[in-house]
Structure 1
Amino acid sequence: MQVAARRSNLFAVLELVSVLAFLGMTALTWTQITERSTDGRLLPSEVAASLLLGTLVPAMAILVLLGRRLALQRAAEQVGRSGQLHVRLVFLFSLIAAVPTLLVVIFASFLFQSGYEFWFSDKSRGLLENANQLARGYYDQTKRDMEYESLAMAADLGEELRTVPFGSPEFQDYYLYQVLHRKIDESTILQKRADGGIDKAAFTRGDAPLSEISSDVLRQLDKGENISVSSSDNMIRAVTPIDRRAGIYLYTVRKSDLLSGGYAQNIVRAYDEVKQKTRIQQLRFNVYLFVASLALVGLAVWFALRFADRQVKPLYDLVDAAREVGAGNFSMRVEGRFGADEVGLLNRAFNRMTQQLERQNQALLGANQQLDERRAFMEAVLESVTAGVVSTNAKGAIQLMNGSAQKLLLERGADAPIGRSLGSLAPQIAALAETGEQGGIVQYAKGNDLLTLAVRSSTSATGSVITFEDITRQLLDQRQAAWSDVARRIAHEIKNPLTPIQLATERLKRRYAKQLTTDSGLFEELTGTIIRQVGELRRMVDEFSSFARLPKPLFRGEDPVDLARQALFLQEVAHPDINYDFAADADIGIIACDRHQFGQAMTNVLKNAAEAVEARAKAEHDGFRGRIAVRLKGAAEDVVVTIADNGTGLPQDRERIVEPYVTTREKGTGLGLAIVNKIVEEHGGEMIFTPGDPDGTVVTLRFARDPLDGQRGSEAAE
């Protein structure tokens, strides 16, 4: 699910959905508040709670997703990690803070809205309206009673004044009796002066100010009205005449909180004002709940980020340290918290582990160093030996191959075939090792060369160790030594009777050539044949002697270019039908060589090349034109002579063409190339045969500039 969420960019979608939901709920809340503001009604508790919850949930989601982004950013900046643990801690703390907050908000909002709806519902307003009407009825009734009592009291006092004088004790007692009997709170008898002013004549309790009685009221009473009633605050006042002619008036006051005509209206008005304010308080309360909830969740997110930094950073430090240890740094130690908590315990355990690993690694390094030293010693020994050494496992795959083995079995520049099967590289050697024999002789084809190898094998359950030596040269030397011995014996046994035969034949020819009258021509032919064949035999014996007793070269400073040109000139004269080409470097210089042997080697090779070209021309009969090219190149330590022809090419068994008495021509003795090979070796070089491009043969002769230098070095080494 996490992988799918990352691939689908789920959190970006959630952020967009949360923002759109918050904007939509904000617009819906604004619409509902605006519609309710026209009639002044409160939002129903269900609607208010739903709007608050619907706006709060996406707002909290935005806050939590913002916390996630901050967690990822802080993790990337501070510890360079993906921040998954940061995100989980932020989500956990946000969930712990958001769920109870949402429940409290729902409960508080519903309880608050229900309370406001109870006190400011239509029923509550109806009760206040009824109370207002009841208060008005009571006020009107009290006002009528006040008018009746004041008129009756004024009439009674007027009757009393006819019998007793005004101001007498009897009148005062009667006045007080009337006040108490009629339940008057305050009363005063007013006396009008001649100037129009008013004086108090008598009063009961209270202090009725004269300023409350205006001259307009007295004028209305003088015009014939019986009573003037007014109300203010919590009292009802009445002024009625006792004796208009004498200017005596009665002023009475009855007090009560329910007697104010506007008291109930003020309550209703105050109720409406409170209800209007309650609507504002409803909005404020919801806003406070919204802000407080977001603040609580935001505080939880902030605390989660700080807590995650503190708790996660040691874990990331441990991860980095573990990677360092995995990379081989066993001296790595973590620092920081080492208290009694789990992180400190983990840090201490990690440091103990790395300390043990470091000690074990040092021990392993010491052991590996000893093994490396032993392995290096063994490899040095293996590389120093001239024999090839190959080690294979139980399946026959190559595990080790020294330099001598690579030189014998592989082409120049090829990589060591470690891991390959020995049977795919050298099947002859692998077959000998599989038979279980301890030793044997095998033939191995390396490119165009056929090598003779003396192989020894040691096999165990884990694999085999095979050693082998190239005895091709040794066998060739043995054959050459044997042929040299045979040549000496043949030259000795044949050369002795050749001279008497030739002398006897010449004597017969001189003595009897003139005496014979018949068949003289036949006699001449027979004696001539004998003399020629003796000469051929003598030439063959001379070659045998030359191969068997080739003299040691006499080294002198010679110009190889001049010697090569002389040999080439003789061949050009002898074979005018062949195109000869010669090229040499300009700065070859002088080399130490035997002039006669150098020329003999060049002549023999050029002669063989000419014979190969003539053999091909004789076989093709199509206007074939032979070509022989001679190239001389100089180097710091040797001179290389390359002779290329377009003749018949190399024979099938070309490895044996340098052996004595091995030839591909009818009249050849097989000693020419053997003599050349011996001369080149005496001059510190080598002779190499390669196929021409596209046909023919290329013979490469390498002559050392100073062969005596190499011989002195070999003697010093011995």
Structure 2
Amino acid sequence: MLVLLQQSQRGARPSKAVDLPSYNDKPSGNTLSGKTVPSGFVNWVSDLTQKYALDIASGKLTFGLGFAAVLAGVITYLAISGFFPFGTSPELVLGLLLLDLVLLLALTILVAWRLVALWMARRSGTAGSRLHVRLVIMFGLVAITPTIIMAVYSALTINLGFQAWFGERVAQVISASVSVAEAYLEEHKMVIRAEILAMANDLNRALPLYYQDREAFANIVNQQAQLRSLADAYVLSGSGEILAKSQMSFSAAFSPPSRAALAKAAEGEVVLLASERDAQVRALFKLDRFLDAYLYVSRFVDARVLNTAMQARHAASDYAAR
């Protein structure tokens, strides 16, 4: 109204009335999903964006981080592959991987920041903001993709390298454990083989006493067992019947030989048997001067060695199955 009065006083043509904002209007601000966003937040984002607009808009910071990420990934690959003549250590490789992770996070944060800034510009109606968003997304993918590829490749390379390096040595350790345990058992088998041959020779010479005095023959068996530090000594028939035995039996229960072992011993061989259940090494041999008799002896071995041998064999089979 004041404008119309002034124009009429000056003799000018009256112009259209301009509606002045009323004090009852809603406070100014940007809207997001039907909700009012305080103009202070928009101004803060705008000021902060303008503060770093020179570096961010030109892409120098993004390009620098992208180049540093690719360079760090290449150095990490060279360190893992053993390219450097001075060698590498696990601490160096871990440090390079952490550097790759930091650069990747920095690139992600920078791209996210630019997307937020462009989103705010788009909300305020700045021309070309949609194109800027697309360009930022494409540039972010181009900058981050090589770093992600190098990080995944480095992780896979380290995993395969550790498997190759440790796998060979683990296999060697398992093989060595099996070899040591087997050598221990073979040594005891050789000792008990020599003992049963010597004892069988003595009992063959005592054959007349077996038919004359069974008790005296049993005493000879007992003396031979004590002399040779045997846990048990039995003289068995082909059917498994006990003809004579040592008086001191350290086994919990008598474990007769199998039919296959008796058949093999009947051919004149020394049959060696190792029992992991009761930690004993047994030997079976035919007394050739007797009509149908076999000498069956046993000796204790270290149960820990037998358990170690069993565990080593199981570990070797499990490792080979992988």
TM-score, reference length from structure 1: 0.25
Larger Rg: 1
* Greater per-residue strand proportion: 1
